[in-house]
Amino acid sequence: MEEVDGRLDFIYGGEFQEEKLKKEEAKGAILEFLEEQGLKRQEIIDRLASNNICGSRTAEGALKELKNEGNIKHTSKKPHIYSLVEGERSNFPQTAIPI
């Protein structure tokens, strides 16, 4: 908040650092999940939630970023099955996330 001309205004201060950290943690976990097998979108979201990694909105954002970065892909038919892009498996950071 900032006072301007005697009134209080809300000023956008950028994205919270904690949200960025959760999304990065979610991305790492998704990559680990997909190393073992392909999963449906909802299965990925459920695993992230059950491991207290993030909520569904953060999970959706992490999936979208990974797909846009070319790290994961999904089938063209619904329900989408997500999998790793071939040849990219060894480039991912390893994290200790229980499956």
Residue 28 lies in a domain: no
Two structure tokens written together for 25 = 């943690």
pLDDT tens figures, 47-95: 999 999 999 999 999 999 999 999 999 999 999 999 999 865 444 444 4
Asked whether the beta carbons of 63 and 55 are under 8 A apart, the reply is no
pLDDT tens figures, 3-57: 767 787 777 666 556 778 899 999 999 999 999 999 999 999 999 999 999 999 9
Predicted local confidence at residue 90, as pLDDT: 45
Tell me the CATH number at 91: 1.10.10
Residue 8 lies in a domain: no
Distance of alpha carbon 51 from alpha carbon 70, whole angstroms: 25
Range of the domain at 85: 38-99
CB atoms near residue 22 (< 10 Å): 19
Number of domain units in the chain: 1
Residue 89 lies in a domain: yes
Residue 29 lies in a domain: no
Residue 71 lies in a domain: yes
Cα separation values, 13 from 17, 41, 44, 57, Å: 11, 31, 31, 20
Predicted local confidence at residue 68, as pLDDT: 96
Residue 25 lies in a domain: no
Predicted local confidence at residue 16, as pLDDT: 58
